């Protein structure tokens, strides 16, 4: 594993020299470290195209790390990872992707993650994206996440991209069975000329399924973001989505939330707010002794943290 990968790992997956438990580290399309644990089995797919990860029902409170790094130009890494989560398992999955580019060619990671979450299982899926390096070549991360939740399964997805990714298209699809719950927290910040596209589609097919989709983003400089969400309530269910975006400088954001209620007892709510930082928020922090710039920074930090 090279130095750049180590640095990226620190940022995206709290790497401190070792991973405790099951892990797989991918660097420029190759596996540079893998370990299974008694309850979490990681098998390579034929031809190095990705992984099959089986989490048994016995796994309770375990963590599996599957970070992927691209460390140079002219790499276009495509990976398929399939997760099979046993009934009643309780697991944390730390994914994360770092793209470092000091060269002129493009560096791209495209991860296709499929989750099959068994009855009553609980998954916390953490995905942190970052771009680094000062080459002129673009840094791209285009994740696709497909989620199938069986009855009573709960999945929380925390997805964060704070800086340095020139272009990203993030696609998430989910299908929920009865009483399954999906909670998505997205945090996104774009700078310079970066573009970020987010596309969520959630189908609630089983009675009393529920989704809570919270997106907070900051578009700075001349960056552009597009947010699209479709929540389909096909039966008695609850759906809530909240999309808040702060504009700084010449950032632009387009948000297109869609709700489909296909049943009389589908209760769906959408809230959206886009705009610059409220002037009175800056004033309040100035009365506590912060400068305008400090106030802006605190407001953005808090907004993206919360």
**68-70 and 90-94 beta bridge pairing:** unpaired
Q: Does 286 bind other proteins (CB under 8 A)?
A: yes
Stretch that binds other proteins, among 49-57, 75-83, 253-261, 283-291 (CB under 8 A): 283-291
The CA–CA distances, whole Å, from 57 to 60, 89, 108, 114, 119 equal 8, 4, 35, 18, 10
Q: Does 298 bind other proteins (CB under 8 A)?
A: yes
Q: Does 3 bind other proteins (CB under 8 A)?
A: no
Report the alpha-carbon distance of residue 115 to residue 105 in Å, rounded: 32
Q: How many residues of this chain interact with other proteins, rule: CB under 8 A?
A: 23
Judged by CB, which is closer to other proteins: 138, or 285?
285
Stretch that binds other proteins, among 80-88, 163-171, 190-198, 274-282 (CB under 8 A): 274-282
* Residue from the set 10, 20, 192, 292 that interacts with other proteins by CB under 8 A: 292
* Residue from the set 216, 251, 253, 257 that interacts with other proteins by CB under 8 A: 216
Nearest 10 degrees: Cα torsion 196, 175, 153, 20: -40
Minimum separation from the CB atom of position 103 to other proteins (A) = 37
**50-55 and 40-44 beta bridge pairing:** antiparallel
187 strand-pairing partners:
160, 216
In the chain, what is the straight-line distance between the N-terminal and C-terminal CA atoms, in Å?
A: 34
Going through 177-265 in order, the beta strands assigned E by DSSP cover 181-190, 195-204, 209-219, 224-233, 237-247, 252-261
Minimum separation from the CB atom of position 256 to other proteins (A) = 21
Judged by CB, which is closer to other proteins: 169, or 277?
277
Q: Does 299 bind other proteins (CB under 8 A)?
A: yes
Q: Given the rule CB under 8 A, which residues bind other proteins?
A: 216, 244, 278, 280-281, 283-292, 298-299, 301-306
């Amino acid at each position: 594993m090279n130095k750049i990968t180590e640095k990226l790992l620190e940022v995206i997956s709290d790497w401190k020299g070792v991973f405790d438990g099951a892990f797989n580290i991918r660097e420029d399309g190759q596996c540079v470290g893998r370990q299974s644990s008694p309850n979490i089995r990681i098998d390579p797919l034929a031809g190095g195209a990705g992984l099959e990860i089986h989490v048994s029902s016995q796994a309770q409170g375990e963590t599996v790390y599957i970070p992927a790094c691209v460390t140079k130009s002219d790499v276009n890494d495509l990976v398929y990872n399939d997760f099979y989560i046993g009934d009643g398992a309780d697991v944390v999955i730390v994914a994360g992707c770092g793209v470092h580019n000091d060269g002129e060619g493009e560096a791209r990671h495209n991860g296709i993650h499929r989750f099959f979450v068994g009855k009553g299982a609980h998954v916390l899926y953490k995905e942190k994206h970052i771009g680094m390096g000062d080459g002129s070549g673009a840094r791209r991360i285009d994740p696709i996440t497909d989620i199938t939740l069986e009855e009573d399964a709960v999945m929380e997805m925390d997805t964060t991209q704070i800086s340095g990714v020139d272009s990203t298209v993030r696609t998430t699809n989910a299908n929920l069975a009865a009483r399954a719950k999906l909670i998505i927290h997205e945090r996104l910040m774009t700078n310079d000329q970066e573009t970020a596209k987010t596309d969520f589609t959630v189908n609630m097919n089983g009675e009393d399924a529920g989704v809570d989709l919270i997106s907070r983003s900051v578009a700075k400089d001349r960056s552009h973001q597009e947010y699209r969400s479709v929540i389909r309530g096909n039966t008695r269910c609850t759906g809530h989505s909240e999309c808040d975006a702060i504009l700084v400088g010449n950032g632009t954001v387009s948000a297109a939330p869609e709700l489909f209620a296909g049943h009389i007892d589908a209760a769906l709510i959408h809230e959206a707010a886009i705009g610059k930082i409220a002037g009175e928020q800056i004033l309040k922090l100035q009365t506590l002794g912060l400068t305008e710039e400090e106030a802006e920074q605190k407001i953005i930090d808090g907004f993206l943290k919360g």
